[in-house]
Amino acid sequence: MTLDQIKPGNGGVIAVVGGEGALRRRLLDMGLTPNTRVEVRKVAPMGDPIELHLRGYSLSIRAEDAAKIILKEE
């Protein structure tokens, strides 16, 4: 399941961070690394962006970028 498919209030543990080049590097630099627990806090009314909570801070990313992050089965 990818991060953009998670409903607000739910979350999981990151298994794979997809994307290529600068996009992947940017996601990793923001703390979206494998084995990190992440929770979806809010989704904008039109579905983009998505507010996440991880590592003690909130982060908003585009739904297109969230689709590249795969979560582990729990």
Count of the separate structural domains present in the chain: 1
The type of residue at 70 is: I
What's the pLDDT band for 54 if we cut at 50, 70, 90? very high
**Locus of tokens 């298994």:** 15
Statement: residue 74 has pLDDT above 70: no
- The three-state secondary structure class of 65 is helix
At 3-53, the pLDDT tens digits run 889 999 999 999 999 888 899 999 999 999 999 999 999 999 988 899 999
Global pTM reads 0.85
CATH code of the domain containing 56: 2.30.30.90
Is residue 8 reached through a cis peptide bond, with omega within 30 degrees of 0 on the bond before it?
A: no
Which one, of 72, 65, 58, 73, lies nearest residue 16 by Cα? 72
Domain extent at residue 33:
3-71
Residue-by-residue DSSP string for 3-62: GGGPPTT-EEEEEEE---HHHHHHHHHTT--TT-EEEEEEE-TTS-SEEEEETTEEEEE-
